Every structure is written in C-alpha cells, then in structure tokens.
Amino acid sequence: MQYHRRRGWELPESMATPEALVLSRRSVMALGAGAALTAMARPALAAGEPETDALHPYPRNPAYTIERPVTAEAINGAYNNFYEFGTSKSVAPMAQALKTRPWVLKVDGMVEKEREIGIDDLIMALPREERLYRHRCVEAWSMTIPWSGFPMKALMDYLKPLAGAKYVRMETFYDPKMAPGQKAPFYPWPYVEGVTIEEASNELAFMVTGAYGKPLAKQFGAPIRLALPWKYGFKSIKSIARITFTDKRPKGLWEALQSSEYGFWANVNPEVSHPRWSQADEEVLGTGKRIPTKLFNGYGEYVAGLYKGLEKEKLWM
Ligand code: MTE
C-alpha cells in the first residue's frame, strides 16, 4: 500500500526549527558552515526504508525536561565521539558508512530465552517516548538532547533476565571493513559497556532509537544506543549489537584500556577530577559558556539511592 508521509524537511522552516534549536551565528561560525550543513542533511529515504521511521516524532514525556535550552542539532551532529569511525569530533561524514539495516540485536547469557531480535520488531514492541536529557562527557563538555526511545526497564521486562543476573553487558558491532577505526590495534574492540541490573532498571536509563524527532543519525550511534544521563558519556554505548545478562562485572572498552582513568561506575562528580580534565565545570556546547557541573549531572534525586552501601567503590570515574 502506498501512502505519503510528510518528512521533516517538508515542514515549513518555522515549524521544523523551534526557537531553542536555531543556531546562533557565532556557533555556525565556530563549527564552520560546511560541518553544520553536513550534519543537518539527511539522505532521502529509499524504498525499503524501515517502517519504524514513520513512528517519529515520539510523544514527549514531560516528566523529563530541563532548564537548559536544547543544543542545536547541527552542533550536536557535528561534534561526536564515535571511535569506530575515527578519533576526531568531526566523525559524522565517516559514520555515514554505518549500515543500520538489517540490524539484529543478539540477546544471550542469563536470560529466559537467548535470541536474535530485528531492531524494528523491538521498536514496535516497546513503549516509545521522547525525553530531554543532559549529556555530559568526561572531556568536560555538555549538551541537552531530545532523545527518543524506550526505557531500558521496558527492554529488561521484555527480555526477562534470570534472577541470578547482576549486570547487563552491551557490545557494539564489530566490522573493521565498514568502520575503519576498528582497525586501530590500540583499542580493545568491539566497544563494550555495562551497568548493574539495578542501574538498568532505574527509570532514567533510556534506550535511544531517535533524536530531534527523527530516527537516530548515524553519528549518534544508530540504530540503537544507550543514554545514562547521570554518568559520563562514555558509558552511553552506541550502535548496540549484543546484550548479555551476566553475573560478572563487564569491563568496558575504556576501562580495559586505562583503568586508572575510566572505571565501571563513572558517575558524574564535580569534585573528582579526571587526570586530564577537571570535572568542576563544563562547556555547554553552542553557548560559549562554562557552568558548574552538578553531582550525578543533576540527577541525584533519581539515582543517588542506587549507590547506598557502595561508598567504598570507585563510583566517580
Ligand atoms: N560508543 C561507541 N560504540 N563508540 C564510541 O566511540 N564514544 C562514547 C559514547 N559511546 C563511543 C560510544 C563517548 S566517549 C561519548 S562522550 C559518547 O558516546 C558521545 O556521544 P555523542 O557523540 O552522541 O555525543
């Protein structure tokens, strides 16, 4: 059956770009107009485009909103960490090589049923919403992003880990031909991250399949990534291809590489510096301003309870 669906770029400019998203002239100049345009352009969708793309925008959940203006999509989309495609922040053009369909999520380990799930079946099965979240990198920059997706808790309820599972281990795809950064022998590919079952069940843990009211751009970690807004950004693994429930604490790529600098918990704390970056404040990208960083990135009321009794752990890096 043929039907016409209005695309984002068919909207009048005034509707497509809320005031908060309009780039300041200064930001455009800082980025270079070319980079900004590259980030904004989304290729026309071919026949065979995933049906789930039509589900965007997801309804906004007003419980998760914040006082800061949303970071312009063009700024966010041109300033990324995605080491599979290179180590520069301008990785977006290279990341367009990421093939996001077919995309199968492998689920294994301590779970009721090991299986492989197509990403679109998963998106259809789970409760979709949009949330505004802060995003804070250990490099001391931050953004505010309208992520769309579903709560990680809903994913857990759907997958049904066994009672003995203590951790969720997540792994990015491994395909050095597609992602030449994975040819760099220095890094222990594929990218891995993990959280406890309690963290994964916290209402803030969010599986992201879109941003800015659209399917997730490739440089953001399409077709599915994590957002853990109370932790440093490196915990929010991109382009997840495998989820394993386990009773062994997973070791993330950065922890495996340099455990003195990057740990398992990585909760945001302005008082605990990284060896190379003070965490006391952060540059809010697109504003030219630095602001003080908050404990748990301002989400303490949701998550502080997760760490009671764990004070002896290295919770902050
Ligand atoms: N996931 C994968 N697979 N590869 C990466 O290089 N970088 C991490 C995290 N997830 C990374 C990743 C880091 S260091 C950060 S700060 C965030 O993604 C960056 O997300 P963003 O590019 O959407 O800002």
Residue type, 275: P
Q: Cα of 225 to ligand 1 centre, how many Å?
A: 9
Residue of the nearest CA to atom 5 in ligand 1? 82
The CA radius of gyration of the chain, in Å to the nearest whole number, is: 19
* pLDDT of amino acid 47: 61
- Per residue in 198-257, pLDDT tens? 999 999 999 999 999 999 999 999 999 999 999 999 999 999 999 999 999 999 999 999
Work out the angle at residue 198's Cα, subtended by the Cα atoms of residues 297 and 201, and round it to the nearest 5 degrees: 80
Our count of domains for the chain comes to 1
Q: Cα of 284 to ligand 1 centre, how many Å?
A: 17
* pLDDT of amino acid 27: 37
Pick the atom of ligand 1 nearest to 80's CA: 22
* pLDDT of amino acid 24: 35
Pick the atom of ligand 1 nearest to 139's CA: 16
Residue of the nearest CA to atom 4 in ligand 1? 82
Ligand 1 pocket test target in 73, 81, 285 with most atoms within 8 Å of CB: 81
Cβ-based neighbours of 121, under 8 Å, separated by 6 or more: none
Structural contact between residues 126 and 263, judged by C-beta atoms closer than 8 angstroms: no
Residue 289: Cβ-neighbour burial (10 angstroms; 0-12, 13-18, 19+): exposed
**316 in a domain, yes or no?**
no
**317 in a domain, yes or no?**
no
Q: Cα of 5 to ligand 1 centre, how many Å?
A: 32
**Distance between CA 200 and CA 205 in Å, rounded?**
6
C-alpha torsion sign, points 123, 165, 296, 279? negative
SS3 14: helix
Confidence band for 46, pLDDT divided at 50, 70 and 90: low
Is 80 exceeded by the pLDDT of residue 30? no
Lowest mean pLDDT among 23-27, 149-153, 214-218: 23-27
Is 80 exceeded by the pLDDT of residue 34? no
* pLDDT of amino acid 48: 65
The residue range of the domain holding 182 is 13-307
**Distance between CA 129 and CA 150 in Å, rounded?**
6
**Closest-CA residue to 36 (of 81, 79, 99):** 79
Residue of the nearest CA to atom 2 in ligand 1? 238
**Closest-CA residue to 142 (of 74, 212, 205, 71):** 71
**Closest-CA residue to 92 (of 110, 103, 77):** 77
Mean pLDDT throughout 166-185? 98
Whole-structure pTM value:
0.87
Confidence band for 9, pLDDT divided at 50, 70 and 90: very low
Is 60 exceeded by the pLDDT of residue 278? yes
Whichever domain contains 109, its CATH number is 3.90.420.10
